Structure 1
Amino acid sequence: MPRRREALPLSEHYGDLVRVALMEVRPAGLRTRQLIIATRLTKSQVGRGIRHLRDVGAAEHLTPNIWRRRDGYMFSEDPADRVEYEKKLFRLILGRLTRMITGTLDPHMARYPDDEWAQLASAQLTGVRATLAQLTK
């Protein structure tokens, strides 16, 4: 009886297809629509492939994929490209954290000023916020 072949997890398969498509156009990039056409995957499958690539690429010390508005997803060897992308991610996280603090934690503190947990969270997040602000410069 023939031995049954193990199937790749779908995200790994999608990641492989996305990686091959990006490697073929390197150093240029592909926008999501172009990746959909090149890989014949759906938009959500391309997204899963990108996320898998980021997880596996980081783990295997591969060239990280970045995203730029004008180029889409791409592999870049240029450290300036990676720094620019990382700063964008830090700005995104800083914005979300700031909205969480001003929209949730500050009203909590105003209503319950003696709440130990809220004071601890506020003190810790103030430091994180300052660090993220420095990293975005």
Structure 2
Amino acid sequence: MPRRREARPLDEQYGDLVRVALMEARPAGLNTRQLITATSLTKSQVTRGIRHLRDVGAAEHLTPIIWRRRDGYLFSDEPADWIEYEKKQFRLILGRLTRMITGTLDPHLARYPDDEWAQLASAQLTGVRATLAQLTK
């Protein structure tokens, strides 16, 4: 009895379509609408494909996908482009973390200064916050 071929996960198929579209557009990039048109995928499927490419690309040492407002998503061979993108991502994470600390954790500590968990979280996140701040410079 022949073995049934296992279906590939959808995210992998979406990722393949997005990768081919971006490779064909090189060195230019494609915004989300252009990727939707080029791949015949929905916006959600394009997003899942990009996410899959980022996960797989890192594992397979491929050129990273970056995003720029003026170019959209693209593969760049320039380390300076990667660094610029990474710094922007760290700024986003730093902003979210800062809002969580000032909007939730600080008021928690103000009301319950002896709360062991809040003290631990504050101590750990202070270091993370400082590290992210350095990485964005």
Tell me, yes or no, whether TM beats 0.5. Answer: yes
Tell me, in whole angstroms, the C-alpha distance in 1 between the residues paired with 2:4 and 2:123.
56
Structure 1 counterpart of 2:134: 134
Show the 5 A alignment for 1:22-41.
22-41=22-41
Structure 2 counterpart of 1:116: 116
> Structure 1 counterpart of 2:71, which letter?
D
Tell me, in whole angstroms, the C-alpha distance in 2 between the residues paired with 1:118 and 1:129.
16
* 1:49 partner SS: helix
Show the 5 A alignment for 1:1-137.
4-137=4-137
> Structure 1 counterpart of 2:136, which letter?
T
Tell me, in whole angstroms, the C-alpha distance in 1 between the residues paired with 2:65 and 2:121.
33
Q: CA RMSD in A?
A: 1.1
Question: Comparing 1-10 with 11-20, which one deviates more in the overlay?
Answer: 1-10
Tell me, in whole angstroms, the C-alpha distance in 2 between the residues paired with 1:77 and 1:64.
8
Tell me, in whole angstroms, the C-alpha distance in 1 between the residues paired with 2:4 and 2:39.
26
Shift of 1:4: 3.6
> Structure 2 counterpart of 1:105, which letter?
L
> Which sections of structure 1, spanning at least 5 residues, go unmatched?
none
Deviations 1:53-80 (A, max 9, x none): 0000000000010000000000001000
Taking structure 2 as the reference length, the TM-score comes to 0.97
Tell me, in whole angstroms, the C-alpha distance in 1 between the residues paired with 2:37 and 2:4.
31
Between the two proteins, the alignment pairs up a number of residues equal to 137
Tell me, in whole angstroms, the C-alpha distance in 1 between the residues paired with 2:117 and 2:6.
48
Tell me, in whole angstroms, the C-alpha distance in 1 between the residues paired with 2:93 and 2:40.
32
> Which sections of structure 2, spanning at least 5 residues, go unmatched?
none
Deviations 1:33-71 (A, max 9, x none): 000000000000000000000000000000010000000
Shift of 1:3: 5.5
Taking structure 1 as the reference length, the TM-score comes to 0.97
> Structure 1 counterpart of 2:68, which letter?
R
* 2:5 partner SS: coil
> Structure 1 counterpart of 2:117, which letter?
W
